[in-house]
């Protein structure tokens, strides 16, 4: 679930900085990641739609399935997205 922190941008427009709560299945650490730390891959099926990141605690690569709601939250929060056909 994203948590937003307002920051004043150029021209007095407020830009939102989004943090996503995540956890590592290897070391079981819980943490928050910014959009730049996550990658989203949207494929043609549930199996090929996932998000990934590197655990900041243990360095393990993490890959988790992304349903419709997760895709919506991550894309809305500025996460880099790769679409495959």
Write the pLDDT tens digit of every residue in 30-47: 999 999 999 999 999 989
Confidence of residue 15 (pLDDT cuts 50, 70, 90): low
Task: Tell me the pLDDT tens digit for each residue of 68-85.
Answer: 999 999 999 999 999 986
32 contacts 19 by C-beta, under 8 angstroms: yes
Q: Are 56 and 82 in contact (CB under 8 A)?
A: no
Is the full-model pTM beyond 0.85?
no
């Amino acid at each position: 679930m994203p948590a937003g922190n307002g920051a004043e941008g150029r021209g007095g427009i407020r830009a939102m900085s989004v943090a996503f709560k995540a956890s590592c299945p290897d070391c079981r650490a819980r943490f928050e990641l910014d959009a730049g730390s996550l990658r989203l891959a949207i494929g043609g099926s549930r199996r090929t739609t996932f998000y990934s990141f590197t655990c900041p605690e243990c360095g393990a690569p993490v890959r988790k399935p992304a349903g419709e709601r997760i895709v919506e939250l991550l894309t809305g929060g500025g996460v880099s997205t790769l679409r495959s056909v």
